[in-house]
Amino acid sequence: MSDFAERAGSVASSTPWGRWQQTIDEVEIVVDVPKGTRGRDVQVNFVTVATACHCGLLALVDMKPASIGVAVNKNPVMQGELLHSVIVDESTWTIENDGAELHILLIKSHRDASGAWSSLLKDQYELDPLVFDQVQKQLTLERFQRENPGFDFTDAEVTGNYQVS
């Protein structure tokens, strides 16, 4: 997670298998696993789809959101299409807290305050509207911190109904 998120805290969304949270750059998924779980017990798979269009000298590539599959001890934990695209080659996972948590770090392709994810997977693990509003505010404060490094926005508040245009 970003330095700002570590200092100010982030807005996490609980799920049946753990929780997920996000910053401007990343989505962190934390899966509760049996204590003592090792890397060989975990399978995290990504499937990406890209379409290319060659228009004269230009080649345009449209990256579609990846699908993710997570299994622990061969038992599926979650599977589905991510809401937005990620940079799969830069995303990673680790086992932490004495093998009690699987941390999956996804690197967002679209990185700015307006890129808040309203759900982790398409039609799954959606944020409550109030929580989504809090996430948007938190990402905006993170953006303010980046744009104004001499100021401290960790205790700042964004008030009112908030929507990024």
The stretches of 44-110 forming alpha helices (DSSP H) are none
For 77, counting Cβ atoms within 10 Å of its Cβ (0-12 exposed, 13-18 middle, 19+ buried), the class is buried
Instruction: Confirm whether 15 is domain-assigned.
Output: yes
Instruction: Confirm whether 49 is domain-assigned.
Output: no
Question: Minimal CA–CA distance to 94: which of 12, 14, 28, 7?
Answer: 28
- Residue 113: give its domain's CATH number: 2.60.40.790
For 70, counting Cβ atoms within 10 Å of its Cβ (0-12 exposed, 13-18 middle, 19+ buried), the class is buried
pLDDT tens digits, one per residue of 32-79: 999 999 999 999 999 887 655 656 666 555 556 889 999 999 999 999
Domain that residue 115 falls in = 3-37+83-147
| Separation between Cα atoms, residue 92 and residue 44, nearest integer Å | 9
Integer angstrom CA distances of residue 117 from 4, 22, 51:
18, 8, 23
Instruction: Confirm whether 100 is domain-assigned.
Output: yes
pLDDT tens digits, one per residue of 72-96: 999 999 999 999 999 888 999 999 9
**What pTM, to 2 d.p., does this model score?**
0.81
Residue 113 backbone phi and psi in degrees, to 5: -60, -25
The domain tally of the chain equals: 1
151 band by pLDDT with thresholds 50, 70 and 90: confident
